[in-house]
Amino acid sequence: MVEAEPRRATELRSYRALAHPLRLRLLSLLTGAPLSSAEAARELGETQANISYHIRLLYDAGLLELAEETTVRGGRAKRYRHPVDGPTLPAGSPEDHVAVASALASEMVRRSGHRVPGLPGDLTDAELTVRPETWERARALAAELGRIVHEEALPPGTEGAVRMSATVLLFRMADEERGADPGGEPGTDPGASASGGAAREAR
Per-residue pLDDT averaged across 30-54, rounded?
96
Kindly give, in sequence order, each residue whose CB lies less than 8 Å from that of residue 184, ignoring residues fewer than 6 positions away. 190
Counting residues of the chain whose pLDDT is more than 70, the rounded percentage is 78
pTM: 0.77
31 against 96, higher pLDDT: 31
Q: What are the tens digits of pLDDT across the range 67-111?
A: 999 887 778 899 999 998 755 556 678 888 899 999 999 999 999
Q: Domain check: are 61 and 25 in the same one?
A: yes
6, pLDDT greater than 90 = no
- pLDDT confidence of residue 187: 45
Per-residue pLDDT averaged across 123-127, rounded?
92
183, pLDDT greater than 60 = no
The total number of structural domains that make up the chain = 2
Residues 45 and 79: beta-carbon distance below 8 Å: no
Q: Domain check: are 59 and 130 in the same one?
A: no
- Is 107 a member of any domain? yes
- Distance from C-alpha of 122 to C-alpha of 165, rounded to nearest angstrom: 10
Residue span of the structural domain in which 46 resides: 4-81
Q: Domain check: are 101 and 145 in the same one?
A: yes
State whether residue 16 is helix, strand or coil.
helix
Kindly give, in sequence order, each residue whose CB lies less than 8 Å from that of residue 172, ignoring residues fewer than 6 positions away. 135, 181, 183, 189, 191, 192
User: What type of residue sits at position 181?
Assistant: D
- Is 167 a member of any domain? yes
180, pLDDT greater than 90 = no
* CATH, residue 8: 1.10.10.10
165 against 12, higher pLDDT: 165
State how far the alpha carbon of 34 is from the alpha carbons of 26, 58, 138, 189, in Å. Answer: 11, 14, 31, 33
Maximum average pLDDT range among 1-5, 10-14, 148-152: 148-152
201, pLDDT greater than 70 = no
Q: Domain check: are 190 and 100 in the same one?
A: yes
62-75 burial code (b ≥16 CB/10 A, e <16)? bbbeebeeeeeeee
201 against 135, higher pLDDT: 135
Q: Domain check: are 108 and 155 in the same one?
A: yes
